[in-house]
Chain A
């Protein structure tokens, strides 16, 4: 390992010393391209974050790709209804690894203010794994930027080897997430047991 002071000194001479892991993660975290996927009101705050005042582009989210094949991240902004849930899971499956999910807003985390609805999915993390949750209804654009930076920190903390390496480097973990089916009264299954369990109940 090279010391920090030596690194800086070498950097002044035009020699850049790093590890492959750092370089790899640096490249990945500074060009996370989100998928253009807005569901409801949070989508408007997401659009406002990309506009002139808050400008998410300076963090690397330069273009919002409409196609899931070309996107790195999906921002679930808005309520996921049971009618829409199979499509969301299908889109997630279509994204290429490495892929990340930000659940933006109370509705995407747990159903939000519409939690009692018969057509509302109580949180998208019932079917797909979520990396960052942003509370708020809707969260301010600054909160979305903070979540983005948190995701960037998470990416820089991922290791290339070892037991805790990310999903796209671990052959045992890869696979498609099962798409729920719209049944007669509800979605079937109601949740993906491998991804989500009922939260701890404090009695």
Chain B
């Protein structure tokens, strides 16, 4: 590990600027203990490393190290056709493969101007909101695990997740890597039986969210460890490009479903939960309340879904060559703003294929939130950011 890895040097470029991390001075004398948390660590959500310098228990310096799961997704996509990149998007944020598919399909549809039929739009919304619910439940479960709850809330979350994964498997053929959206619609139509099962599952979800809420939200340990810890200011959050529940927990009302009006989200009535303080507890509550709002959207969508085709009739399945140009499309993925930037040169492969990873950019402020706190809180703060390494490193 080179010494520049965690060098919080006092050069002028480092210190100036309201949006730079604070400089923490150690309390006592003696050396700082330099610890590498990761890449093999029970609580780092995957292969991620944080080089921390500790003064006793307090964190003086923290530098994240990425790249342990860098799988060259962008380079592979440049050599593959547009459609061949779709299964790779599943593996970006591997909890939420359907949202990733939608973001990519949306970007290509922005590039080419394809229209998506109504039934396909409803199916996209249904699957995206189911994905959001199981992602937030798992995120809360993993946060509890890191707090020491030894897997019980995670078991509850995964119990519901399995029901949702059964739905995914029945429709798309796979539990996790669904590869379901296509440019101009969806791959397979949902039968009436599937929609009925989905309605039954959604009918059982409110009681699950109530159960988790009752179990956790007023838990003494949770409140003591999470309230007032890891506070993020709203202006720094916006400047650092934070998006998703982490941004809304600081009080900023910015949800891409309401801002960009993509898909048919305008037809559904749902609210955006906002936090006040921006600490871990706010992020936890925002995710909890977003689960409830997703259930509302699901109930409306499952009631109103019309019949019809699920694929743009003019869409070509072979020889897909968009005209030269570029497009940037983004959606509100469960982790934040997931965007795809595509440059087309008229051939069948993208010239430039870029994934805008919400998890990586949400980690920009990890340093700011963790400096000066105890090392035990670092694990919690990191867990509340809710990242997936597949997306951070691509």
Contact = CB atoms under 8 A, between A and B. Distances in A.
State whether these chains interact.
yes
Interface of A: 36-41, 43-45, 47-48, 51-53, 66, 78-79, 81, 83-84, 87, 91, 113-114, 116-120, 137-138, 140
Contacts of B75: 116-118
Given A37-B40, A51-B154, A118-B72, A43 B159 contact: no
Interface of B: 39-42, 46-47, 67-73, 75-76, 79, 87-88, 91, 94-95, 154-155, 158-159, 161-162, 175-177, 389-390
A116 B76 contact: yes
Contact of B177 (A38, A39, A41, A118): A41
B40 A91 contact: yes
A94 to B, nearest CB: 10
Given A66-B42, A87-B39, A52 B159 contact: yes
A166 to B, nearest CB: 25
Query: Chain A: interface secondary structure?
Result: loop
Given A53-B159, A79-B69, 11 more contacts: A40-B47, A40-B69, A40-B94, A40-B390, A41-B94, A51-B158, A51-B159, A79-B71, A87-B40, A113-B87, A116-B72
Nearest to A91: B40
Contacts, number: 89
- Chain B CB within 10 A, most for which of A41, A43, A44, A51: A41
A52 B177 contact: no
B388 to A, nearest CB: 9
13 contacts: A37-B40, A40-B46, A40-B91, A41-B177, A48-B161, A52-B158, A81-B70, A84-B68, A113-B88, A116-B72, A118-B72, A119-B71, A137-B177
A119 B42 contact: no
A81 B176 contact: no
A77 to B, nearest CB: 11
B176 A47 contact: no
B389 A53 contact: no
Contact of B155 (A43, A52, A116, A120): A52
Contacts of B162: 48, 51, 53
A196 B106 CA distance: 44
Contacts of B95: 44
A83 B159 CA distance: 34
A38 to B, nearest CB: 7
A51 B155 contact: yes
A125 to B, nearest CB: 18
A66 B76 CA distance: 33
A38 B390 CA distance: 12
B46 A39 contact: yes
Contacts of A52: 155, 158-159
Contact of A38 (B46, B67, B175): B46
B387 to A, nearest CB: 13
Nearest to A35: B40
A43 B67 CA distance: 17
Contact of A120 (B39, B67, B72, B177): B72
Contacts of B69: 39-40, 78-79, 81, 84
Nearest to B88: A113
The 9 closest A-B pairs by CB, nearest first: A117-B72, A41-B94, A66-B42, A51-B158, A114-B71, A84-B68, A119-B70, A53-B162, A83-B67
